[in-house]
Amino acid sequence: MIRATLPLYLATYVAKVPLRAARRAAARAGAVTGVKAGLMAGLMALPAWAAELVMVEQPGCAYCAAWDRDIAPIYPKTAIGAFAPLRRADLHDGPPAGTTYAYPARFTPTFILLDDAGAEIGRIEGYPGEDFFWPLLERLAAEKAGFDPGLVPSTGPSTGPEATPAGHDSPAETTALAPRPSED
């Protein structure tokens, strides 16, 4: 909500026009004012991207289970997860309502990146493991949908394997991997 009203406030502050005077002038012109105006201004100020990631899966898929174990718990907390929220779809049900694939998904998992109209703009077929999944997804989103991790606030760990080395649960465990100084 703060983001929605901030552009209106900044616009009046930068122009050094008191907010009350700006509202009066807008009302005289027949414009929408108040909370609706703030929301409309905020929505127009949002970045132009809108993406969604569809994970096509099927029961019994070992690679889907590996993705669920490795990536699913942290995906929504990452910058790419905020940029392209995840939707799951069954392989045998076809595309979810309102979406179109460039061609049918044949393998699971298949990760299909959709634009704001629900059309496919890219895909990753298969799950190559945590170390390769993050860079592949970030590159796909950057090239096809304008993803920039600096523009999307992350609410959790950084995307990619650099957050914690493979096989370790927390950054605190990484200190055990540091080389010890020689005692020569």
Domain ranges (residues) in the chain: 2-45, 52-163
Sign of the alpha-carbon dihedral angle for 138, 141, 143, 148 = negative
pLDDT of residue 40: 44
More confident residue, 166 or 137: 137
Q: What is the DSSP string of 68-109?
A: HHHTTTTGGGSHHHHHS-EEEEEGGG-SPTT-B-SS---SSS
Distance (Å, rounded) from C-alpha 63 to C-alpha 79?
23
Structural tokens at position 67: 């993705």
Which residue is associated with the tokens 């298969």?
126
Beta bridge partners of 100: 119
Class of domain 52-163: alpha beta
Distance (Å, rounded) from C-alpha 78 to C-alpha 149?
9
- Over residues 4-57, the pLDDT tens digits come to 443 444 343 434 444 445 555 555 555 554 544 444 444 333 344 469 999 999
Model confidence band, residue 72 (pLDDT cutoffs 50, 70, 90) = very high
- Number of other CB atoms surrounding residue 33 within 10 Å: 16
pTM of the model: 0.59
Structural tokens at position 47: 């970045």
- Over residues 97-108, the pLDDT tens digits come to 999 999 999 999
Identify the DSSP state of 41: H
How far is it between the farthest Cα atoms of the chain? 83
Distance (Å, rounded) from C-alpha 96 to C-alpha 94?
6
CB 42 within 8 A of CB 4: yes
Lowest mean pLDDT among 14-28, 78-92, 163-177: 163-177
What is the percent of the chain where pLDDT is above 70? 54
More confident residue, 129 or 6: 129
